[in-house]
Amino acid sequence: MIAQILFIIILAAAIYLFSKNAGKIRRNILLGKDTDRSDNPALRWKTMAKIALGQTKMVKRPLAAVMHFFIYAGFIIINLEVLEIMIDGVFGSHRIFSKPLGSLYDLLIGGFEFLALLVLVACITFLSRRNIARLKRFSGVEMTEWPRSDANYILIIEILLMTAFLTMNAADHKLQLLNFGHYIKAGSFPVSSFIAPMLPDGASSLEMIERGCWWFHIVGILAFLNYLPYSKHFHILLAFPNTYYSNLHPKGQLTNMASVTNEVKAMLDPSFVPETAGEPGRFGAKDVTDLTWKNLMEAYTCTECGRCTSVCPANITGKLLSPRKIMMDTRDRITEVGNNIDKHGKDFKDDKSLLDNYITREELWACTTCNACTDACPVNINPLEIIIEMRRYVVMEESQAPASLNNMFSNVENNGAPWKYSSADRLNWKENI
């Protein structure tokens, strides 16, 4: 009974803390401007199933795709076993699903063990790629000590959890063979049976190992749940809504600013009356609250995998721009804004902004708007939208575009074309044919 009460307290505390921290992230995301992504629900469900569930954009890197699938499948399917562990913890039962499922239970436990082994293999492979092979895309100015450590912590935690799961089953299997206590014969143990010979033969020692691994496994999962809001691993939850709310328009299609569109329509048609009255807001984005909630959701969804930066032509040619850094900086800034709200209230201003304090102008103007980063992202994140909005602010609010662009703007205004020649001289080239 004491163990049950202790488990219920730990479970309730874990759920409360996770809900509180997840609620803060939701609050931070909703600090962004509104945007409508409710159109075409059928296509959105299809996109989510294809990209988030099917992981179709991962296959461009086959080894990473296969290893990630092992972890992904293990995370989803082994959670069925976690459900049983939680029920056992609350009610004091042991392998409560074994009787109602019958022989299917043996198949499930055996399948869970094979998945746990595949998760171990995948995690060890990923650790080796990061710390031994040191793949280039896992480095960069934005990959400071914490992002690198975060990735390693996640992999190590998963290795420990899977090891505890298999060791627990191995001890349980030996206790079943001894007909000890409440350890009924249930389950198939094709992997943990190889661990069993390394365990002691005494029933009391085996029970201590089984109970220790049981508590370590379930408490470890609950602790890992509360680590997610502080980690890039939060993408396992946000990848689904993020892909559902993907931009369904062609990648090269930029958004128009409603205030500017209304001005143009009013000039062309004096009788035009805009749907919304009042002064237009800020042109473009200086800080994170000028971005849309979808931009901020994408920042929290970023997996820091580096695929975007590895295909960015600006980054490849040695320029400062890193699309991954754009997303990480956006996430860090909106988190900072949220922390300021918690400490000082919603009206607090810290005299900082995403522009200049986090992202430099040199980074913004290095972008070629080729959309390679958007195409490469496995969860449909769009760093280009943030770059374009910040460029709009620099040009339309501060009039601080690079000299080459200012010359082009002047030519368009005066000559109706990007070049310095007047409209009357546009066909002079044919005289030389």
Residue-level pLDDT, tens digit, the chain, 433 residues: 788 999 999 999 999 999 999 999 999 999 999 999 999 999 999 999 999 999 999 999 999 999 999 998 887 888 778 888 888 888 888 888 888 888 898 899 999 999 999 999 999 999 999 999 999 999 999 999 999 999 999 999 999 999 999 999 999 999 998 888 888 888 889 999 999 999 998 999 999 999 999 999 999 999 999 999 999 999 999 999 999 999 999 988 888 888 788 888 888 888 888 766 556 678 999 999 999 999 999 999 999 999 999 999 999 999 999 999 999 999 999 999 999 999 998 889 898 999 999 999 999 999 999 999 999 999 999 999 999 999 999 999 998 888 888 888 888 888 888 888 877 787 887 887 6
Cα angle value 360/364/58 (rounded, 5°): 110
Q: Write down the pLDDT at residue 405.
A: 87
Angle, to 10 degrees, between the axis of helix 103-131 and the axis of helix 62-91?
Answer: 130
- Tokens 């470890």 belong to which residue? 220
The CA-based angle 35-36-42, given to 5 degrees, is 145
Express each pLDDT in 151-183 by its tens digit: 999 999 999 999 999 999 999 999 998 888 888
Q: How far apart are CA 89 and CA 72, in angstroms?
A: 25
Count CB atoms within 10 A of the CB of residue 171. Answer: 26
pLDDT of the residue at 223: 95
3-state secondary structure of 33: strand
> Which residue type occupies 28?
N
Distances (CA, A) of 212 to 6, 113, 126, 170, 274: 14, 19, 28, 13, 67
Structure tokens at 51: 């990209």
What integer pLDDT is reported at residue 99 of this predicted model?
Answer: 85
Residue 48 token pair: 């989510």
Tokens of 117: 């082994």
Q: If you search the block for the tokens 């370590």, which residue do you land on?
A: 216
Place of tokens 């975007």: 308
Q: What pLDDT is stored for residue 255 in this prediction?
A: 86
- The predicted model scores a pTM of 0.89
Q: pLDDT at position 412, please?
A: 87
Long-range pairs of 328-332 with CB within 8 A, sequence gap ≥ 24: 328/142, 328/147, 328/299, 328/302, 328/304, 329/142, 329/354, 329/358, 329/359, 330/288, 330/291, 330/295, 330/296, 330/299, 330/354, 330/358, 330/386, 331/299, 331/300, 331/302, 332/358
Tokens of 65: 């795709």
Give yes or no for a contact between 234 and 26, defined as CB atoms under 8 angstroms apart: no
Q: For tokens 């992230």, name the residue.
A: 25
Q: What is the pLDDT of residue 2?
A: 87
pLDDT of residue 417: 84
- Asked if residues 227 and 233 have their Cβ atoms less than 8 Å apart, the reply is yes
pLDDT digits (tens, 9 = 90+) for 321-334: 999 999 999 999 99
- 3-state secondary structure string across 306-345: CHHHHHCHHHHCCCCCCHHHHHHHHHHHHHHHHHHHHHHC
Torsion of CA 95, 100, 103, 104, to 10 degrees: -90
